[in-house]
Amino acid sequence: MQVIYACDIGTTRGQKPKFAWVRMKQSRPKICKGSHDIEELAQHLAEDMKKGFNIALGFEAPLFIPIPMSANDLSKARIGEGNRAFAAPTGLAVTTLAIHQTAWLLDRLRTQIPENYHLTLDWHDWGVHSKGPILFLWEAFVSGDAHSLTDMEDAATAAAAFCEKDNDFGKGNRVTCYRALSLIGTAILWSGISKDLAFLKNKCLVIKPDVRIECSIAAT
């Protein structure tokens, strides 16, 4: 089974956390369950891994940034970001939280991931013909007309958009850069899930929907 998770990055503190996540089956797009509790996210991921599901886990925040050759190109947006650059104040805040939360989550999962799981940032590894169970990490970019009134709806839009692009990630990949520094790769190495230093320079798939996608969301 293929299971899609998407997380809208935000604070996990307070009575109304901004962090939100949804879980959606590839076979039933636009129907999902969600929560604001990151502990519940870790529990559901661990349960799905024990069942051997292929898991695509996305985060709505920049997961890699460009390191340009020229100083004149510092602080410039990634290709495809438009006016929502990672280096803008909002982008910087969510990027920092993403490193913080993804590292925590991967560390929590480290001892629970079965040995046969393949951790990857390469979208070519995802699909019905994937070899063995995989944990595929990807980035969501939900803004403009795709943005919803709630964090949970943004997460659902990201997951549904991933399902829509599943057969054509080459065209679906909307944001890139040259000479990437992988922030999700840093979190992977810090967590100890992998010691492969290649993760530090690996970009990942970025799904950037153009419009909001209506989904049915139930509580976990």
What is residue 169's predicted lDDT score, i.e. its pLDDT? 87
Q: How far apart are CA 145 and CA 69, in angstroms?
A: 34
Over residues 134-151, the mean pLDDT reads: 95
User: Is the pLDDT confidence value at 207 over 70?
Assistant: yes
Label residue 130 by pLDDT band (50, 70, 90).
low
Phi, then psi, of 16 in degrees rounded to 5: -125, 80
Distances (CA, A) of 25 to 22, 46, 55, 144, 202: 10, 16, 10, 26, 27
Tens digits of per-residue pLDDT, 152-161?
Answer: 999 999 999 9
- Alpha carbon separation from 9 to 102, 170, 195 (Å, rounded): 9, 25, 25
Q: What whole-number percentage of the chain has pLDDT above 90? A: 84
pLDDT at 115: 86
> Is residue 16 helix, strand or coil?
coil
pTM for this predicted structure: 0.95
Residue 129's pLDDT is 58
The domain ranges of the chain are: 2-219
Q: Which has the minimum average pLDDT: 15-19, 39-43, 128-132, 202-206?
A: 128-132
Question: Average pLDDT over the chain, rounded to whole?
Answer: 94
